[in-house]
Structure 1
Amino acid sequence: MRAKKDTIRCAVYTRKSTEEGLDQNYNTLDAQRDAGENYIKSQQHEGWEILPTRYDDGGFTGGNMDRPALKQLMEDIKAGKIDVVVVYKIDRLSRSLADFAQMVQVFDEHDVSFVSVTQHFNTKDSMGRLTLNILFSFAQFEREVIGERIRDKFAASKKKGIFMGGAIPLGYQVKNRELYIDKDEAKWVRHIFQRFATLKSMKKLLVELEKDGFRTKRYVSGTGKERGGKVANRQYLYRLLKNKIYIGKIVHKDQVYEGLHEAIISQELFDKANDVFKEDRVARGNYTRNRHPALLRGLITCECCDCAMTPSFTVKGRRTYRYYTPTKAIHQHYKACEVGPLPAGEIDALVVGHLKQLITSPEILSKTHGIIQAHEDAPTGFGLEELRKEIKDFDVFWKALGLEQQQRIAELLVESVAVNTDAVKINLRMDGFSTITNKLKGKTDEHASL
C-alpha cells in the first residue's frame, strides 16, 4: 500500500483508433486530455498533480500494445515517475482483456492506481477490480462485435463487386474506392500475360522483362514509405498471372464475383496463360522431390547472393542432370547470381570425400572415440584400433545405402555447405560422428532407421 504523499503524480493517457480529424486545432485527443486534467484538478485537495508529459496515441488500435505513447507510459511507470494513470474511458487504454490484465499487473508491481473519468472505480480494492473486469469484458465484447460487422460488410461489399482496398494491382488506380485502368500500366499487364502464354517459361519471361526495363508498381504505404519500383521476381509474376481482378472479377476467400471495374485482359488470354502452370514441372514438385532426393537439401547455401540453394534437375533424352541452384536465380533468372546452378553430383562427391578424409584422420578418430566412450551405452573394449577397423568399411557402408538414407547421414554429419565463385566451405557436426560409428558398429537397427 502506497504511503500517503504530499504530491500524487498523475499521467493522462489518450488514444484514437484513426488519424481522421487529428489535424484539427482541437481534436478528440485534446478533449480526452482536458477531461482527465479537469478530473485531476477536482482531486487537488488530495495532492493530485498533473504531469506535463503527454501520452497521446493518435491513429493506433486498442487491440494490441504496439503503441509508442503507451510504451513510454509503461516505461515511466517502471521508472517510478507516475502514481496514477487517468483515462477518459477504459477502452482508451486497451480493448484486449489479456493486454489490460498485463498492464494492471505492472500497475500493481509499481503501486500505481488506475482511474477512468467516466467510470468511477478504484483498482486497489476487490470490488473495484470486479467492476473493472465486468466493464472490460463488455469492451472486448463490443470490439469483437464491431469486428464481425466489419467482416460481414467486407464480404457483402465484395459480393457486390466492390474493391475493398489493399495493395493496388498493377494496371489500376483507385479513385473514391473504385478501380480505374491505368493505360500505361495496363500495357505491361497485357504484355506479361501474352508473353507468358507464348514463352511458357517464367525464367525466360523474367529475363525479357528486365531487358525491357519493367519494374514493379510504385506506391506509398500506409506508413508513408515508398514501395515497389523493383525488378520482378517469380513470386510477383505468379501472383499477377493468377489474379482474377484482371478479368473483371473480385475474389473473396473461395468465392468469385463479378467486379464493378473494367477488365484489362480477356478470359481467353487469362485461361491460356494459366494453362501453362498445369504443364509446368513446378506444379509436380512433390513428385519430383521424391524421385530425385538431394544429399544436401537444406544444407547448402550460396555466399554470393546470401540465399539457400535448392535441388533442381533437367532431363535430356533419357538422362537426368541434377543441380543445386540459388533461390535468387530461380526467383529472378540465372544471370542474377554469379554462382548459378552447380552440378549436384560433383558437390555431393566433394562433400562425401571430405567426410571420409576427415573421419579417417587421427585427430578426428581420437575425438570421435572420446565422444563414443562418454556415452552411457558405450561398447566395452572398443578402442581406437577397433574404431579404425570400422571406419575402413565406410565406402562399403555408404554404397549400400539408398539416396534417402545417404541424405539422413549428411544431416547427421554436415552442419552446412557454403558455396561462392571460387570455393566450397564444408562445416561438420562433431557429435554426428558418434551416431555414424554406432550405426557401423550395429548399435542401432538396420540402415532403414538412419
Structure 2
Amino acid sequence: MTRKTQTEPGRRLRCAIYTRKSSEEGLDMEFNSLDAQREACEAYIASQRAEGWACLRERYDDGGVSGGTLDRPALKQLIADVEDGLIDVVVVYKIDRLSRALMDFSKLVEIFDRHGVTFVSVTQSFNTTTSMGRLTLNILLSFAQFEREVIGERIRDKVAASKKKGMWMGGYVPLGYDVVDRKLIVNEAEAAQVRTMFELFARSDSTAAVIRELNARGIRSKRGRPIDRGALYKLLHNRIYRGEITHKGETYPGMHEPIVDAELWDAAHAVLSGNRNQRAGPAAAPSRPYCVA
C-alpha cells in the first residue's frame, strides 16, 4: 500500500473531519456531539500544523445515522471528494464514527488507500501516516478478510444444505413457475408452454422447425424474448421441470411440483442424446407432423 509516511517540506495536507452520531437526540442543542467531535479533531489537526496539516472548511456530519451502514449522506460526499482528489487526510474522533462494521471499515480504507489518502483517529492513537498505524491497519484488514471468508463458507454451506433438502435458493425464475414466499409455485399458463416445448421437440426431426413453431404460437421466454436454439436446449436440460434441485452435479428431490413427467422428459432426452449431430445445424429433412394441439 502506498502511504504518506512523512510530509514533504512545505507541502499542505488537506484534512477532512468526519463526524457521526447514531441518534438525533441532542442535535438541536447549540453545542452537540457532532460539534464536540469536530472540536477535538480540529485541535489535533492544529497540533500537526508543523507537518503541513490544514483543516478543510467543508463539514461532513452525519447526525442520526447508524454506523452499521455506508449509506450516509455526509459519508458519500466524503468518499466523492476523496475520489476527486480534494482530500489528503480523513480525521475522525473514534474509529467507530467512521464505521461500526469491520467489513465496511475495510472497504473505506481500500478506497482511501487507492487514492493515497490516510486517516487518523484522534482518541485511539490510530494514524496511518505512521508505521505502527499501518501495522494496526493491516491487522484489522486481515481480520476483515478472515471474517469475509468465514461468512462466505457459511453461506455456501447453508446453500448446499438447503438444496439437499430440495429448497429453491433463488436466482433466475424459470418459465413455468412463480415465486411465492421464496418457494417455486407452478404458473399453469406458462407450465403448459413448457410442456408444449418438450412435446414438440420429442416429436420433431428438426430443432429449427420446433423454434419456428414456438414463435408462430407466440411462446416466449420468461422475459418475453423469442425462443432460440440456446434457450430451448437450456430449458430442456433444466431438471427443475422434473421437480428436482441440482447442486454441484448432484440431484435432489425438490420441494416444488414438477411440470414435466418422467415419460415426456425421457422422450425429449432420447432425442437429445440420439440426434445431437443432426440437430447441431439447420435441418433440411422434412419433419413429422406435430401431434400437439
Q: TM-score, normalised by structure 2?
A: 0.70
2:103 corresponds to which of 83, 91, 103: 91
1:88 is displaced (CA, Å) by: 2.0
2:209 corresponds to which of 192, 204, 208: 204
1:379-400 Cα shifts (integer Å, max 9, x gaps): xxxxxxxxxxxxxxxxxxxxxx
What amino acid is aligned across from residue 58 of structure 2 in structure 1? L
Aligned CA RMSD, in angstroms, stands at 3.8
**Alpha-carbon separation, structure 1, partners of 2:103 and 2:144:** 6
**Alpha-carbon separation, structure 2, partners of 1:212 and 1:284:** 21
Does structure 2 conserve the Cα–Cα contact (< 8 Å) formed by 1:8 and 1:49? yes
- Larger RCO: 1 or 2 (CA < 8 Å, sep 6+): 2
Report whether the alignment pairs 1:104 with 2:113: yes
Counterparts of residues 181-196 of structure 1 (less than 5 Å): 181-196=186-201
Report whether the alignment pairs 1:130 with 2:141: no
* Matching residue of 1:245: 240
* Matching residue of 1:42: 40
* Identity, % of aligned positions: 40
**Alpha-carbon separation, structure 1, partners of 2:212 and 2:35:** 64
What amino acid is aligned across from residue 133 of structure 1 in structure 2? N
Report whether the alignment pairs 1:279 with 2:274: yes
**Alpha-carbon separation, structure 2, partners of 1:160 and 1:177:** 14
Structure 1 segments unaligned to the other structure (5+ residues): 14-24, 27-33, 60-67, 218-227, 286-311, 317-450
1:49-107 Cα shifts (integer Å, max 9, x gaps): 67346898549xxxxxxxx879735422x2x34531652255324359xx83x842532
1:96-131 Cα shifts (integer Å, max 9, x gaps): 9xx83x842532xxxx32146996510011111111
1:72 corresponds to which of 48, 73, 80: 80
Does structure 1 conserve the Cα–Cα contact (< 8 Å) formed by 2:17 and 2:41? no
Does structure 1 conserve the Cα–Cα contact (< 8 Å) formed by 2:70 and 2:104? no
**Alpha-carbon separation, structure 2, partners of 1:313 and 1:260:** 38
Counterparts of residues 8-407 of structure 1 (less than 5 Å): 8-11=15-18, 39-47=37-45, 48=55, 51-52=58-59, 57-58=70-71, 72-76=80-84, 78=85, 80-84=86-90, 86=92, 87-89=98-100, 90-94=102-106, 100=110, 103-104=112-113, 106-107=115-116, 112-115=117-120, 120-217=125-222, 228-282=223-277
What amino acid is aligned across from residue 84 of structure 1 in structure 2? V
Cα gap change, 1:52 to 1:36, in 2 (>3 Å)? same
Cα gap change, 1:176 to 1:115, in 2 (>3 Å)? farther
**Alpha-carbon separation, structure 1, partners of 2:206 and 2:122:** 65
What amino acid is aligned across from residue 8 of structure 1 in structure 2? C
What amino acid is aligned across from residue 247 of structure 2 in structure 1? H
**Alpha-carbon separation, structure 1, partners of 2:82 and 2:13:** 23
Please state whether the residue corresponding to 1:94 is helix, strand or coil.
helix
Please state whether the residue corresponding to 2:127 is helix, strand or coil.
coil
Aligned residues: 245
Please state whether the residue corresponding to 1:43 is helix, strand or coil.
helix
Cα gap change, 1:281 to 1:240, in 2 (>3 Å)? closer
Does structure 2 conserve the Cα–Cα contact (< 8 Å) formed by 1:172 and 1:181? yes
Please state whether the residue corresponding to 1:250 is helix, strand or coil.
strand
**Alpha-carbon separation, structure 2, partners of 1:93 and 1:283:** 57
1:351-393 Cα shifts (integer Å, max 9, x gaps): xxxxxxxxxxxxxxxxxxxxxxxxxxxxxxxxxxxxxxxxxxx
**Alpha-carbon separation, structure 1, partners of 2:209 and 2:284:** 18
**Alpha-carbon separation, structure 1, partners of 2:106 and 2:88:** 19
Does structure 1 conserve the Cα–Cα contact (< 8 Å) formed by 2:208 and 2:282? no
Q: TM-score, normalised by structure 1?
A: 0.47
Task: Choose 1 or 2 for highest CA Rg.
Answer: 1
1:276 is displaced (CA, Å) by: 1.1
1:177 is displaced (CA, Å) by: 1.1
**Alpha-carbon separation, structure 1, partners of 2:261 and 2:228:** 24
Does structure 2 conserve the Cα–Cα contact (< 8 Å) formed by 1:157 and 1:164? yes
Cα gap change, 1:7 to 1:273, in 2 (>3 Å)? closer
Cα gap change, 1:198 to 1:116, in 2 (>3 Å)? farther
